Chains A and B, each alone.
Chain A
Amino acid sequence: MKNLDEITRLGADDLDRISLDESIPVPEELATRIGSVTKPRTRRILWSIPAAAALAALVAVGIGLTRKPALEDTFDDPYLAYAEVEKVFSKISGTVAYGADKVSDTESRIDKISYWK
């Protein structure tokens, strides 16, 4: 029997010749031993196909969600759009002004109370 070094030195032709040589006996338990060493791949293939399909579907959904259609502008005229922006700023300012008024009222009440004390 050849050792590992001798086998690695063999060329492809030598290996072909040896494999075709029927005079070399094949151990009866060889097939069983090979089967016990190599893992069956069928289970992995079984779950990997639906998993890949599910992943592809999720990626497609994800792409669909990220590629949003362009929203339509409410106004065609920039002057009208500007008027709306101005209204928004007025609303924001109005809210801030309301808050500032309340603070000012409270401050003046505190001042009056401090004065009468």
Chain B
Amino acid sequence: MKKFYILLVMLLVSVSALAQNGRALYEKYSDLPDVEAVYISPAMFRLIGRIPDVELQDGSVNFGPLIKSLSGLYILNIPQSDAAANLADEVNRFVKKGNYELLMEAKDNGEVTRMYTVGDDKVVNSLVMLTRDGSETSFICLDGSMPREQLEALIADAAKD
């Protein structure tokens, strides 16, 4: 009987762990009414990776190498509602449980944007951006094996423009 309870607990823990990622949130909220949802699969990223680098260049910023390291993009835009509040709560829980690090927080006229990353010194495995203003909640999750140096350089370059 004891073994049965241990198995039960392990199963429940693994099921709850499964629910804690960008994909699970996308699956949960993308079909709700009035929700704008975008998903780009690893296969599509491989196709994008075949586009010549010259075409992947936007001004001085070359997105090419970084895009090739991505494996999934999930975007959800939800108008202000209970679902939007729930999404924000779930994102906050999942970044906490997933040991995400707060990269930056910006607050402007009631709009709050938080950016989180998880990975190590060399690679960023996931980048999450959550923006909330009075009318909408926006969630962006980028998964992959992004070289941290490239990601930071790209953001810094783009910020200069």
* Segment touching A, from B33-41, B85-93, B94-102: B33-41
Write the chain A residue with the least CB distance to B158. A93
Chain A's interface size range is: 35 or more
Shortest A107–chain B CB gap in Å is 15
Give the chain B neighbours of A84 by CB distance below 8 A.
Answer: 38, 40, 73, 75
Total B residues in contact with A, Cβ cutoff 8 Å: 49
Residue contacts A-B, CB under 8 angstroms, 19 given: A51-B4, A72-B39, A74-B39, A78-B47, A78-B50, A81-B44, A82-B56, A82-B67, A84-B38, A85-B40, A85-B48, A88-B142, A91-B140, A92-B127, A95-B129, A96-B104, A96-B115, A97-B158, A100-B159
Chain A positions within 8 Å of B, measured between CB atoms, are 47, 51, 55, 58-59, 61-62, 65-66, 68, 70-75, 78-79, 81-82, 84-86, 88-100, 102
Q: Which residues of B contact A (CB under 8 A)?
A: 1, 4, 7-8, 11, 14-15, 18, 23, 26-27, 37-41, 43-45, 47-48, 50-51, 56, 58, 61, 63, 66-67, 70, 73, 75, 104, 106, 108, 113, 115, 127, 129, 131, 140, 142, 154-156, 158-161
